[in-house]
């Protein structure tokens, strides 16, 4: 693991998955961004990117009922993203609205964690990703209920009910795939192996959160409750908690997997092709 | 004496290769009874409840849901329909419209 | 016992009596319910029509689903996602209605996947630009609503009830389509051109959604007599044109028909001849997207098989003697 000596070194080259340490992560856009804006963008981008991934499931689900369920989760996340990005724009105060933030920022300006970028894979990967992420969001929003920021607390009050349902939905499926047929068991275990390397990053130190005591939640504080819930589900599903050999990091400061660079152009191209147009 | 014991046609247990069928009942709001909303397929009761929420209450149509396996619904059979229901039809005095109310009388 | 068995064992006198009772109920505009005796032709017609309707909702998710990841604003993305999700719901309501006639959804899907049952040909046209989301909402959903509103009074109870629910939910679909086109036609020149192009491509196919002229529609008369169908294809098509033509003026868009004109005398918009040979081609499978739509649908079903099977295996392992679940209280 090599850390560049200068924190301002940014090259657009490909990133070795395991080779990016936090100290190597040059934040962008740098000092000018208020911690609250960074924090809101992190939460909002998480929700937006996962909504984008889930939206791609519609018409492809294993059962039509599940098309509707995945659509519901995507819609909830999209709603959270819109609230968070709109508020980030207001706090920033330079006139950027939810669409400017969603459609006109580049990869390096997105603050989401890597977990939500993982391609959909099979249904097991999608449910593993959902369980890990929704369990995290449950603890996060429960913590934000007490935020000193009224807008954040208000969002949390609405969102905590939504994400509990998402977590429950993913739980039901992880149980049914893990403890169902042998084929599904193998696929579900593989899906946990695929997604687990992105877990640590959820609880990494975040400068923005640290600068907002009473407003933000310290990510590390969420881990015990998260682990208790998720590991219980994994056990009941007769699956094993993976021991990954590498871990992701850096999403909150704009360092992402290569996948985001494919997700964003698809999402953004139409909006960008017509500068200034209304839709 | 088998009145009321025939399984309904709709729900003949024909689920050879798919998830079983469930009937969904939704309470629209407090103070109302559960009403039949439709049916859906689900592997078990827990998933049936969750699917019912997504399929039948997307617009906040309900505060409570029941699901019942369709094959567990017991229905009166069509052949017996008339003897089963006709006796009730001649008790017109059960209905308020049976009684003549003189003109001008309100709130009765 | 299946309906076929029942029909085979009925004695002719009883069957005549049941037929007479069925006819009286139809004549009195009473609803036929699942457990009533019904003529086999009535049942077959309903199964075919409801299944085709359900398939259309499910396949109809694809042309719009094609734009969920590319919607140009977050608001539009949310609306589109909700709309496509509604279509899945509508498909399910309709499959449920069909299942009351003694068929299994899995069998109906099998008929769709093997091409033995059809879906509306309109969904074999590609969605090439964002404006197509507007044209589909305004024209395709507009035509669908015109067809569906009378079905709310269909003589078969479960179908009518499903349609009531669907029509209620669809009311926002056409409106959001109109709104998309209105925004585009009042936007940049490129946006307006995009809107006009979409209307040009979807206008004639949407007129064909009402089916062939009544004179060439062999099943129409019987369906009308049974109270399944309430109005002829030509009448509904005319109503649709009468509704759309003035709306096009508000949008500032042109309908691609040089013969379209207001006829003072009849109080109707007159329109040009429809090229039915094109519809025939598309129905026969010669549409731009037929194979693509079917492949997507089949792939989703096949790739989901291991998931559905595992859920059944889990249910079998964990089956409790009595249902362990409590009624769900939904957060209001």
Against chain A, the chains showing at least 3 CB pairs within 8 Å are: B, C
Residues of A with CB below 8 A from C296's CB? 59-60
Q: Which residues of C223-259 are buried (b: 16+ CB within 10 A; e: fewer)?
A: beebbbbbbbbbebbbebbeebbebbeebebebebee
User: Higher-confidence residue: C159 or B81?
Assistant: C159
| Closest of B38, B37, B36, B40 to residue B18, by C-alpha | B40
Residue C56 has pLDDT above 90, yes or no: yes
Angular region, C170: left φ>0, alpha ψ -120 to 50, beta rest: alpha
d(CA A20, CA C91): 48
Tokens 């590319």 correspond to: C70
Is C14 touching A (CB cutoff 8 A)?
no
Q: Work out the number of other CB atoms within 10 angstroms of the CB of residue A260.
A: 22
The strand ranges marked E within chain C are: 261-263, 268-270, 328-329
Q: Is B14 on the interface with A (CB under 8 A)?
A: no
Tell me the three state secondary structure of residue B8.
Answer: coil
Q: Is B7 helix (H, G, I), strand (E, B) or coil?
A: strand
Cβ distance A59 to C191 less than 8 Å, yes or no, reads no
Region of residue C126 (left: phi > 0; alpha: psi -120 to 50; beta: else): beta
| C-alpha neighbours within 13 Å on the C-beta side of residue A220 | 5
A84-A85-A87 Cα angle (round to 5):
65
By the CB < 8 Å criterion, does A55 face chain C?
yes
Q: pLDDT tens digits for C273-324?
A: 999 998 788 777 777 799 999 999 999 999 999 999 999 999 999 986 544 4
B58 touching A (Cβ < 8 Å): yes
**Cβ of residue A260 closer than 8 Å to a chain C Cβ:** no
Which residue is closest to A169 within chain B, CA to CA? B50
A5 pLDDT higher than 70: no
Q: Does pLDDT of A131 surpass 50?
A: yes
**B39, C87, C56: which is closest to A68 by C-alpha?**
C87
Instruction: Quickly list DSSP for B45-104.
Output: HHHHHHHHHHHH-TTS--SEEEEEEGGG-EE--GGGHHHHHHHHHT-GGGSGGGS---TT
How many percent of chain A have pLDDT more than 70?
89
Q: Do B50 and A72 touch (CB under 8 A)?
A: no
pLDDT of residue B13: 40
d(CA A4, CA A6): 6
- Mean pLDDT estimate for chain C: 91
Main-chain phi, psi angles of B65, to 5 degrees: -130, 140
Cis peptide before A29 (omega within 30 of 0): yes
Range of lowest pLDDT (A10-24, C264-278, C305-319):
A10-24
- Closest chain C residue to the Cα of B70, Cα to Cα: C100
- The answer to whether the beta carbons of residues A269 and C71 sit under 8 Å apart is no
Whole-number pLDDT of residue B59: 85
The ipTM (two decimal places) reads 0.91
* Residues of A with Cβ-Cβ distance to B42 under 8 angstroms: 65
Of residues C14 and C243, more confidently modeled: C243
Which residue, among C251, C200, C60, has the nearest Cα to C243 in the 3D structure?
C251
Q: For the full predicted model, state whether its pTM sits above 0.95.
A: no
pLDDT digits (tens, 9 = 90+) for C223-233: 999 999 999 99
Q: For the residues A20-49, what does the mean pLDDT come to?
A: 75
As a whole number, mean pLDDT of residues A67-76 equals 96
Q: Which of B54, B60, B65 to mutate to test the interface with A (most CBs of A within 10 A)?
A: B54
Q: Indicate if the pLDDT at residue B16 is higher than 70.
A: no
């Amino acid at each position: 693991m090599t850390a560049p000596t200068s924190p301002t070194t940014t090259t657009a080259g490909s990133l070795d998955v395991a080779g990016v340490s936090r100290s190597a992560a040059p934040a962008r856009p740098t000092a000018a961004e208020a911690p609250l804006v960074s924090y809101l963008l992190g939460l909002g981008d998480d929700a937006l990117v996962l909504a984008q991934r889930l939206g791609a499931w519609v018409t492809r689900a294993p059962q039509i009922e599940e098309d509707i369920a995945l659509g519901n989760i995507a819609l909830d996340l999209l709603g959270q993203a819109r609230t968070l990005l709109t508020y980030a724009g207001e706090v920033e105060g330079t006139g950027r609205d939810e669409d400017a933030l969603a459609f006109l920022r580049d990869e390096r300006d997105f603050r989401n964690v890597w977990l939500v970028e993982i391609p959909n894979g099979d249904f097991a990967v999608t449910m593993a990703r959902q369980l890990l992420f929704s369990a995290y969001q449950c603890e996060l929003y429960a913590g934000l209920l007490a935020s000193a920021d009224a807008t954040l607390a208000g969002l949390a009050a609405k969102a905590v009910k939504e994400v509990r349902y998402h977590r429950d939905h993913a739980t039901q499926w992880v149980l049914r795939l893990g403890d169902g047929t042998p084929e599904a068991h193998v696929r579900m275990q593989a899906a946990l192996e695929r997604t687990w390397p992105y877990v640590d990053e959820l609880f990494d130190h975040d400068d923005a959160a640290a600068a907002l005591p009473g407003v933000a939640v310290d990510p590390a504080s969420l881990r015990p409750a998260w682990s208790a819930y998720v590991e219980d589900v994994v056990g009941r599903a007769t699956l094993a908690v993976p021991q990954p050999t590498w871990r992701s990091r850096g999403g909150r400061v704009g360092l992402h997997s290569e996948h985001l660079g494919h997700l964003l152009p698809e999402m953004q191209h139409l909006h960008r092709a017509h500068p200034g147009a209304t839709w | 004496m088998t009145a009321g014991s025939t399984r309904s046609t709709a729900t003949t247990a024909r689920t050879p290769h798919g998830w079983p069928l469930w009937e969904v009942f939704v309470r629209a709001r407090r103070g109302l009874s559960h009403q039949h909303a439709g049916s859906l397929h689900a592997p078990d009761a827990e998933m049936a409840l969750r699917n019912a929420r997504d399929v039948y209450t997307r617009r906040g149509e309900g505060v409570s849901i029941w699901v019942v396996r369709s094959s567990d619904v017991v229905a009166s059979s069509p052949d017996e329909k008339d003897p089963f229901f006709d006796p009730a039809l001649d008790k017109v005095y059960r209905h308020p419209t049976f009684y003549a109310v003189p003109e001008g009388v309100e709130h009765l | 016992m299946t309906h076929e068995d029942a029909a085979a064992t009925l004695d002719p006198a009883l069957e005549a009596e049941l037929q007479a009772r069925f006819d009286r109920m139809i004549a009195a505009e009473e609803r036929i319910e699942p457990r009533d005796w019904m003529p086999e032709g009535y049942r077959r017609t309903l199964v075919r029509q409801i299944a085709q309707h359900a398939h259309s909702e499910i396949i109809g998710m694809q042309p719009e689903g094609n734009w969920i990841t590319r919607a140009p604003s977050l608001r539009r993305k949310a609306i589109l996602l909700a709309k496509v999700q509604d279509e899945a719901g509508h498909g399910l309501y309709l499959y449920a209605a069909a299942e009351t006639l003694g068929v299994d959804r899995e069998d109906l899907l099998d008929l769709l996947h093997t091409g033995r049952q059809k879906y509306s040909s309109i969904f074999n046209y590609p969605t090439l630009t964002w404006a197509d989301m507007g044209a589909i909402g305004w024209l395709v959903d507009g035509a669908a609503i015109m067809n569906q509103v009378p079905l709310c009074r269909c003589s078969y109870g479960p179908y009518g009830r499903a349609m009531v629910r669907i029509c209620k939910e669809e009311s926002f679909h056409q409106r959001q389509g109109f709104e998309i086109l209105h925004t585009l036609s009042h936007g940049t020149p490129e946006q307006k051109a995009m809107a006009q192009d979409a209307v040009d491509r979807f206008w004639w196919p949407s007129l064909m959604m009402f089916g062939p002229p009544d004179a060439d529609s062999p099943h129409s008369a019987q369906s009308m007599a049974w109270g399944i169908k309430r109005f002829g294809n030509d009448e509904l098509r005319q109503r649709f044109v009468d509704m759309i033509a003035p709306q096009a003026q508000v949008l500032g868009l042109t309908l691609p028909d040089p013969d379209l004109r207001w006829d003072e005398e009849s109080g109707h918009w007159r329109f040009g001849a429809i090229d039915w040979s094109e519809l025939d081609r598309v129905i026969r499978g010669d549409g731009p997207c037929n194979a693509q739509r079917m492949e997507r649908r089949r792939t989703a079903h096949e790739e989901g098989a291991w998931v559905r099977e595992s859920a059944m295996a889990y249910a079998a392992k964990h089956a409790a003697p009595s249902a362990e679940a409590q009624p769900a209280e939904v957060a209001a």
